[in-house]
Chains A and B, each alone.
Chain A
Amino acid sequence: MLILDLIKQEWKKSIRSRGFYKNIVANLFLGIFAVYIIVVFLFLGFSLNSILEKVSTSLTPMEIVNGAMFYLILGALTIRFLLQQLNTFNLPLYQTLPIKRSTLVNFILIKPIFAPINYFTLLVIMPFAIKSVAGYYSGIIAFRFVLSFVFIIWFDSLTAAFLKRKFGSSVFAFLAIFIVFASIAALEYFKLFSFFVVSQKCFGWIILNRFGLFIPLVAVMLAFGWNKRFFYKNFYPEQFNQKLKGAKISTADFSFLNRFGIVGELISLQIKLMLRHKRTRTILLTSVIFLFYGLLFYTHHSNGDGMLFFIAVFMTGILMLMYGQWAISWDSNHFDSLMTKNIPVRSYVTANYYLMMAFNILCFVLTTPYFLFGSKIIYMHIAAFFFNSGVNVFLLLFFSTFNTKRVDLSRSSAMNYQGTTYKSFLIVLPIMFLPMLLVGILSWVASLSVALWTVSILGLTGILLRKPLITVCINQFNSRKYKLAEGFREQE
């Protein structure tokens, strides 16, 4: 079995990569996170039945799920389109060996289906099927229900890969998806056309009818066929890699920054870096999504002050936090260049400082609509802004010097933990939870205003003392410089 050999080699590639063992602590953290997700999903699965029973009395829980199915498929497709990494199988490596091309293509297409992350949704669906579907209908129907989900996962995975290979993930694709979604939601909301009813009927038939499952199966085969046709048409890897390489570059001009000398040059370089790499672009996109985080929390009044402040710090500092964690590591590819050209260390560190401050101001301005949620939120955000600009920015500058692992920017997108070590987690923990604890305790012992004044004053002190604090960061950078340079030189 040739395919088995290929799978084995891919497996060896991942466990023999240099980062694998070194990174065991980071993997441990990710493992804990995975366990957390599994527990949450299972819990949701077991309670879904009773939740849905309360939603409607006329429909069975399964009928509601069927109605939502259309949206689930579309939603999953979108998320996959945005986040799913295309299988980067080293085609040229095998192309010269006597292996049939169709075997290779099949491998590329089938491999992602074995990724366990695909089947996380089953953790919700299986308990639900056992508890609800088997109860309302029968065991065999519950089985078909689960099976239809597996087919849908395959369909989504294959279709998303196809769309991504074909169109790439441009801003336009993102906009197009958004428009399609908005119009579908509008149709449903204004009761012009209900996809819910259609979807409920369709999937009801698929699951209840004895031969219904053939339909998703055919859909999977069709999606597989599209992919195969695509590879058939684009025979050489360079043809389908072209789009991924991002041949076009945004040549936006940041010449207004030139006035600020070397620091300005470095900032504009850093902005170019962020706009020209997929991984950093994804960070920008994720940050925008996180800006809506407040809608989830500010609408409930049950949250404690500490928690609210945590959210405020998170939202007004999201870009800084995302960027700052790897503030120096972003430059790992060209670190030697920056260290040997005429760039005083002070300029380098100051550039990073100003860039993070700019991110802070940007996020603060973008989150001002939350001021509509009341004066408490206004004070929270202002205090958080001061704290981010006076304390967190320096913590990030200081601790980011411990991230000595090379960050490979050419690898794409979210859920990419390459270059993550346990240190990355250790950096973020105090930055996120210290202010939360501080505000939580102070507002409990004294009052909220005391708590907010305390963090604001801490922040303002930091802003006023920025010169000596930057010097502290410079000394730290200087003492870690060789470790950084050595770590960045080591390719995975």
Chain B
Amino acid sequence: MIEVSNLQKAYNGITVLNIPQLTIPKGESFGLVGNNGAGKTTFFRLILDLIEATSGGVQVNGQKVARNDDWKAFTGSFLDEGFLIDFLTPREYFNFVGKLYLKSEGDITLFMESMQDFFNGEILGTKKMIRDFSKGNQKKIGIAAALLGEPKLLILDEPFTALDPSSQIRLKRFLNDLQAASQITMLISSHDLNHITEVCKRIVVLEKGDMVKDLQTNTDTLKELEAYFAV
């Protein structure tokens, strides 16, 4: 699904990301961990063509993502609040996004109903604009919108932070179900080693832009990661 080759990103001559080679096959749940400044978000932004690689590039389904529109049709993503349109109400936002992915009104309503549990009944009833919601609820809206287009590729940057405990557990279950039911490729970054090992089958550790570990998740992975990050 995703093919990364010789990918480098430098700001003012300082390399912040350097991935010589990485392949993420279709249907894999791929976790990315690393301390602040490790390059997780930079990597995601490069995949989503929001920044320009200094050298090398990313291919999705055999096509370069840079200056290309094709990957957008099957990719759902949520990195930060910039991925929301904050002057719309959640309903309007879902309608807008749904239309972009050629969903009918009925599909969109159905989708919103299926999300009611995750939203904890807090989001759809009100006429509030997205910008007036709390950070946690904004995150839920963003994650839901990323899923709305039934993506084949899902990219979430720290989806668990700012969520309340119940929502974290719901999201975890939800992502696992999704993974089991469809051949979705997921890229998820997190600071929470517990969550990431429960959701992802493969975990890559980034440090200062370099890939330092590439693990297939098993029972020892959590311990290994904890040992790695212990100070």
Contacts and interface: CB of A to CB of B under 8 A. Distances in A.
Contact of B51 (A258, A269, A340, A486): A486
Given A262-B99, A482-B50, A333 B89 contact: no
Given A265-B99, A334-B82, A343-B100, A245 B50 contact: no
A341 interface: yes
Interface string B66-82: 01010011010101101
Interface string A476-490: 001001100110110
A249 interface: yes
Given A265-B96, A272-B87, A342-B149, A249 B129 contact: yes
Contacts of A344: 69, 72
Interface of B: 48-52, 67, 69, 72-73, 75, 77, 79-80, 82-89, 92, 96-97, 99-101, 127, 129, 131-132, 149
Given A276-B87, A337-B84, A337-B85, A485 B127 contact: no
A108 to B, nearest CB: 24
A343 B97 CA distance: 10
Contacts of B85: 269, 333-334, 337
Contacts of B89: 249, 251
B34 to A, nearest CB: 20
Given A251-B89, A341-B100, 6 more contacts: A276-B129, A337-B85, A339-B49, A342-B100, A342-B149, A488-B82
B99 A336 contact: no
A345 interface: yes
Interface string A241-272: 00001000101000000100010010001001
B72 A334 contact: no
Contacts of A245: 132
Nearest to A410: B131
B87 A340 contact: no
Contacts of A80: none
A38 interface: no
Contacts of B149: 341-342
A464 B154 CA distance: 42
Contact of B72 (A251, A258, A269, A342): A342
Contacts of B77: 340
B127 A341 contact: no
Contacts of A481: 49, 67
A249 B69 contact: no
A423 interface: no
Contacts of B97: 341
| 8 nearest A-B residue pairs (beta carbon) | A336-B82, A344-B69, A482-B52, A334-B85, A342-B100, A276-B87, A337-B83, A342-B72
B50 A339 contact: yes
A277 interface: yes
Contact of A489 (B82, B88, B99, B100): B82
A342 B151 CA distance: 11
B69 to A, nearest CB: 4
B127 A251 contact: yes
Interface in A322-339: 333-337, 339
A214 to B, nearest CB: 47
A273 interface: yes
A331 B97 CA distance: 16
Contacts of A337: 82-85
B69 A345 contact: yes
Nearest to A334: B85
Nearest to A262: B100
Contacts of B75: 340
A283 to B, nearest CB: 15
B73, B92, B99, B127 pick with most chain A CB within 10 angstroms? B99
Contacts of B82: 333-337, 488-489
A166 to B, nearest CB: 22
18 contacts: A251-B127, A265-B96, A334-B82, A334-B86, A335-B82, A336-B48, A337-B83, A337-B84, A340-B75, A340-B77, A340-B83, A342-B73, A343-B72, A343-B100, A410-B131, A478-B67, A481-B67, A482-B50
A36 B86 CA distance: 39
Nearest to A337: B83
A109 B87 CA distance: 30
Given A276-B87, A334-B85, A340 B73 contact: no
